[in-house]
Amino acid sequence: MTVVATLSKNKNLKVLDKEQLLKDYRLAQVSRQASLMGRKEVFMGKAKFGIFGDGKEMAQIAMAKHFKAGDFRSGYYRDQTFMLAIGELTIEGYFAQLYAHTDVKAEPASAGRLMNGHFATRFLHDDGTWKELSAMKNSSADISPTAAQMPKLLGLAYASKLFRQNKEIQHLKQFSNHGNEVAWGTIGNASTSEGMFFETINAGGVLQVPMVVSVWDDGYGISVPNEYHTTKGSISEILRGFQRNDDQAGYEIFVVKGWDIEGLDRTYENAARIAREEHVPVLIHVIEMTQPQGHSTSGSHERYKSKERLSWELENDCILKFKEYLINKEVATEEDLDRIEKEAKTFVKEAKESAWKAFAGGIKTELEEAVSLIKNLPSTSTKFVQIAEELNKTLNPIRKDVISTVRRVLWMLRSEPESIKTELRTWYQNQQAINEDRYSSHLYSQSEDRVGNIQPIAVEYADDASLVDGREILQACFDNLLATDPRFFAFGEDVGKIGDVNQAFAGLQSKFGELRVTDTSIRECTIIGQGIGAALRGLRPMAEIQYLDYLYYALMTLADDLACLQYRTKGGQKAPLIVRTRGHRLEGVWHAGSPIGMILNSLRGMLICVPRDMTQAAGMYNTLIKADEPALVIECLNGYRLKEKMPSNIGEFRVPLGKPEVLREGNDITVVTYGSMCRIVMSAAEELLQMGIDIEVIDVQTLLPFDTDGMIAESLKKTNRVLFTDEDLPGGASAFMMQQVIEGQKAFYYLDSEPATLAGKAHRPAYSSDGDYFSKPSVEDVVEKIYEMMSEVDPIRFPEI
């Protein structure tokens, strides 16, 4: 139901298209009735929670008029009217999401994985290949954390700049029409207090990208009024310094009332033109909005709004104002509009009932199957009939009710003959497989381009291969990527002119230009957002975070947006961003951290690569550029000037991800490690050999995925002992590796000694070389730990040191 109200561009003459205006009114009423009925569905127990877009209808209809094919939205969970207006949401789909319907056809945004009000269009075909985004109206997948939609908005807009200015990618018509696409962002007024908002606004002004940011201002953030949120109580007032002028680039800033029909249309028409044609960012502050039902179903706004404010909201409701406008302009009579409202109620009610029937029908079928199986159990006990009847009487059952009951019945049957429980158990196992797809699939790519399908290519060396600094190998790798893939570009702090702080991009900006190798300001959160947005639009960005410890600035964006993107859209969107950083050993509290456990626990859904040297890192980059999954690559900070042989196939060799490498074969104990610790452990191996201890050293290479073929367990079959060591905190990545091997690979049964870990101290590393030595595992630490393990086995041969 896409509806457009047209106004003449002649500012002195408004020619109103009555038919279109009435369609606008009908759409506004449909959206409002969906909000009202949605709230009731929650209170009836048919949905868990509800958050709605009532009060925001007219501004969103105005915005939708100027949202064209190829444009992108990065928005806010109150944008239902907009999504209806652009034709990318149906009322059935709206209620399907409220009920958490797991059928992607019924609920294409997320197959029931996103809370209601969280919108997304499907950028990908079922096989994971890209659709023709330039011919579609696109919405990136919403996320709940306030202002978290802003970082990727920057990237969605930045991609338009690249497509317009970089002739080498203008042939990619599937993704862009010469960069004419606008990225549209929406945000609530209270969320503009978040740092992500300000960081994005600043970066957008610096980059001059075509994004239009709409602030829906209803005066509150849940119970807290604007004066507690924003200096001067107005985001547009405090951003006036961003207003462009004749001498300085900046923003165009508009303020418009959320019920001003003509003003909204003029504002969005101007904003779209400025952003689309001039690539100038625009801020639209939409004031005097209302929120008729309060923040959400979690409570009433009458608790915190004064009677005067509540009265004002009733009088200034945008739909009421629109109704008055239509009557005053003689577009329709009050009776006509009342009839439209009544028809909208009927339409929404029917759509709601259809959505509920579709949602509940599938569960009902499963419930009936379970009830029948339980009732027909070949057992003399009547208790199973009673259980089945109680299940059958469940009001508004969910799958948990069905599966929980079946599992408990199977508990009760544990002592019965196998023939009695086989049919019920088989049904349960089949349902578990189906539910695994419904609720747990697509954490990682399932397409043909997933990393596990990228064929490895061995590194090759000429007989006279030169020894070079590790950074030179990376430089040669990046040179090749830039030369062979026009979609690839790199950006970050100090990446451009000086070629990054460790010189891996040295000279490449002058060779390939500033659009391909780009400096940014100090803004880790939006560096990642810039990469996510560009990757969503079919490009292959590399976003650099200068040091691993600085990843904390961007952690929420990585965790809440990038890492879970494929999961929360059930394969509907992907952003194969490569995040490059460096860490482990150097100097001090903020430049030598190894928070790998934090990363592993936060970024499931990304690949976590931990190369031990720059050759290995280059091979990983060559693999990742062929795959369609996001990745974090953590280079060794102390390895850029260590000597390595220059490969002869620098642009071709690929390191397999998820496949450990045996660096040294041995028989007494297996040592599992990665990154900078590989050199430490290899040095310790030489010392231990002098003591009569022969260790096997395994570099896991990647922590996610982790040893997909069970190579480490095979090593334990030989050595029967294992030490996991790294520089993270105790209980961090070393514990993760232990769990993966001992539990995941069932390696406990091969052990003759207790598995052990050796990690860094619980504190961050102190400054100086001594601080490094006493904070993180040293050669001596590794030697003594392994010697202690062997001494326990054979104290005569290995007496206490």
* Listed residue (732, 548, 703) closest to 635, CA to CA: 548
Q: 431: closest CA among 367, 375, 386, 379? A: 367
Nearest to 68 by CA among 182, 177, 210: 182
Tell me the two tokens of residue 575. 């952003």
Distance of CA 107 to the CA centre of its chain: 19
CB atoms within 10 A of CB 793: 14
Q: 7: alpha, beta or left, given left = phi > 0 and alpha = psi -120 to 50?
A: beta
Distances in whole angstroms, Cα of residue 183 to Cα of each of 60, 138, 280, 576: 15, 9, 11, 19
For residue 45, the Cα-to-chain-centroid distance in whole angstroms is 30
Beta-bridged to residue 662, according to DSSP, are 698
User: Which segments of 289-417 does DSSP mark as H helices, in order?
Assistant: 307-315, 318-328, 334-375, 383-392, 399-412
- Give me the catalytic one of 125, 301, 591, 763: 591
Helix, strand or coil, per DSSP, at residue 545 = coil
Strand ranges for 195-301 from DSSP E: 211-216, 220-221, 224-225, 252-257, 282-287
**412 alpha-carbon distance from chain centroid:** 42
Q: Please report which helix (H) or strand (E) contains residue 519, including its range.
A: strand 517-519
Rounded CA-CA distance 198/305 in Å is 28
Which residues, in sequence order, are CB contacts of 315 under 8 Å at separation 6+? none
**485 burial via Cβ count (<10 Å: 0-12, 13-18, 19+):** middle
Instruction: Tell me the CA distances in angstroms from 617 to 5, 115, 545, 678, one per residue in order.
Output: 55, 39, 16, 14
Determine if residue 370 is left, alpha or beta; phi over 0 gives left, psi from -120 to 50 gives alpha, anything else beta.
alpha
Is 591 in the active site?
Answer: yes
End-to-end Cα, the chain, rounded Å:
80
Largest distance between two CA atoms of the chain: 103
Tokens of 359: 């949602």
Cβ contact 652:628 at 8 Å: no
Q: 49 with 297: CB under 8 angstroms?
A: yes
Instruction: List, by residue number, the catalytic residues.
Output: 591
